Amino acid sequence: MERWPELWDSDIRQIETLVADEVVLHAAPIGQLTQAPMEGRETLRDWMTSMRAMLPTILFSIKIGLLYDGNMVVVRWRAQGQHGTARMDFTGTDILRICDGIIAVYWLNADALQMLQQAGMTNALTAGLSRP
């Protein structure tokens, strides 16, 4: 699993050897309106590719981990880069369940609000909200 961070940074092709065909991703990814998990390697690849397209200069650094507990791996990361003229700097935590040496389940917890604020995209989130 030491190659997991590289998958995000540089080489999406590694998904073939790191991630199960039937992987399940638990997250609330940007642009997804449901909390339902995403399923399948191709779905994960498409989502990761779209994130890289939105943030092409983003680089990830490991802050804590990789931490192993049985078949679970945890990593705390920091992402930095540019979105247009906005400087992006946010953190997150990945929890991975490993089965047969590859990732079967992926829980992603990222500071998406901080990322959206830095990109100047929070107006769309709050447009319909009013205070009581």
Contact assessment for residue 119 and residue 83, using Cβ atoms and an 8 Å cutoff: yes
Contact assessment for residue 109 and residue 93, using Cβ atoms and an 8 Å cutoff: yes
Q: Which CATH number fits domain 4-119: 3.30.70.920, 3.10.450.50, 3.40.50.800, 3.40.50.150?
A: 3.10.450.50
Domain boundaries, the chain: 4-119
State pLDDT tens for residues 56-76.
888 888 999 899 999 999 999
The predicted structure's pLDDT at residue 51: 80
State pLDDT tens for residues 77-130.
998 888 788 888 989 999 999 999 999 999 988 877 677 777 776 665 555 555
Residue 122 and residue 25: Cα distance in Å, rounded? 24
The predicted structure's pLDDT at residue 28: 65
The predicted structure's pLDDT at residue 125: 53
